[in-house]
Amino acid sequence: MAQGFVGRSAAEMAAALRSGEVTAVELLRQAIVQRDRVDGRVNAFLERTDELAETQARAADERIAREGANAPQLCGIPVALKDVLCLQDVPSTASSRIIRTFRPPYTGTAVQRLLDQGAVVVGKTNCDEFAMGSSNENSAYGAVGNPWDVERVPGGSSGGSAAAVAAGVVPYSLGSDTGGSIRQPAALTGTVGFKPTYGRVSRYGLIAFASSLDQIGPFAQTVEDAAHVYSAIAGHDPLDSTSSASAVEDPFETLRSGVEGMRLGVPREYFVEGLEAGVRQRVDEAIELLRSLGASIEEVSLPSTDAGLATYYIIAPAECSSNLARFDGVRFGMHADEPSLLRSYLSTRGQGFGAEVKRRIMLGTYALSSGYYDAYYRKAQKVRTVIAAEFDAVFEKVDALVCPTSPTVAFTQGAREDPIAMYLCDVLTIPVNLAGLPGISVPCGLSDGLPVGLQVIGPRFQDARVLRVAHAYEQASGAARLRSPMVAEAAP
């Protein structure tokens, strides 16, 4: 069997498949060996789909033999899926007890588009319950460890998908981003995490948290890999009413164009109190590198940034309260047998939901209740409009924004039991979701031996521009070579 593909990029694997150096079956078996070797420490996987993956890998080998260089870029490449993404007949639990027996009768659009490319699914990944969290400590099936230091969190809510890539099990994975749940764990695990423009990737088949904020996107070893995954999953879907019908730009037309002549803004409000000195230093160095590559750097202001956190934690719980009302123990999922319908309903939800989910349901129900809707929810929506308008105004002056992704590096599990302290983890990512913008986190070095993420933000539907800036930085900095100790352990 060919060796040495653990921790390699999807592009490298694709080239090796086409040259005959390795087969899709061999790549899968290496992924399974690495997954089984590290997952007792990381707990990234909730469901292992080895039998399905074997079938997919054999089909991919046949397709590559038949189509050669014309086979899709992702054909035969292993992938992991966050457990909020539906894959037909495979358990999809959203890391919650309440739907632990749910086997979706259909496959979500983004996942199906990967399958159409010939992707090989090695499993479903752990996450914060119903994607609610910033550390992946809220899963009903245990916390996820960071492959850089398993005593530390990988970020959330897509921590399992981030950890699967950081540990070298798969070269890319899918997550979902509601307030930073792709970019923040990417920063904490030293991976690339891309959140496309809202509406650019279909949400059909995504178990909803907050429908006006959720967006599916990739984790990857490199920006190039993220661009390939984005190209595969983006585009209009008639099954999703929020899916944009506008044409999708080919990110590869400009991916390698560099940043010379581009205007990059640095929002002063993103260098907040609480930003760790090591994080600030790495991000400042990254910005200076972009300047040396020919970009002009300009300080800009987004004055309503401070209101973003409060706005999000009204809108997101309100939508969560509505979306999770369907989990009632009657139609599907967990059912607590009680003498009355009301007691059955209350017992099902009381036992089935974890503490953070209950907290957000109660907060959202309160914000939507009679007498409080105007005071809270309506006002939050108005502030959301202001935040989006401020981004629009800034993007009339600059092409993209560069700033930190997370104010801190990965923290120790259990260190943030106060919910407010935990919510502050997303202070630098939430505004992007409120405005529906594309954003990416790319590794920009280490602080105290742990990864730091540089965030690039662009105007709506300028996803290719975001990828272009991130790729230019990645190539100049060597950030694509950053790998966790778990990858080094697997070296032959």
Provide the annotated active-site residues: 82, 157, 181
**Contact predicate 206/84, CB 8 Å:** yes
Could you give the strand order of the β-sheet that contains 120-125, starting from the edge strand earlier in sequence?
A: 45-48, 120-125, 78-82, 172-177, 215-220, 192-195, 439-447, 450-457, 400-404, 263-267, 296-300
Task: For residue 72, give both structure tokens.
Answer: 């899709």
CA-nearest of 226, 246, 221 to 235 is: 246
Task: For residue 48, give both structure tokens.
Answer: 């292992």
Those residues whose C-beta lies under 8 Å from the C-beta of residue 457, and which sit 6 or more positions away, are 391, 400, 401, 402, 403, 432, 437, 438, 439, 466
User: Dihedral (C-alpha) 451, 219, 210, 399: value to the nearest 10 degrees?
Assistant: 80
Alpha helices (H) along 148-274 = 159-166, 183-189, 223-233
Q: 């409000």: which residue's tokens?
A: 269
Dmax (CA) of the chain: 71
CA torsion through residues 226, 228, 231, 234, sign: negative
CA dist 219 and 142 (Å) reads 21
CB atoms within 10 A of CB 489: 15
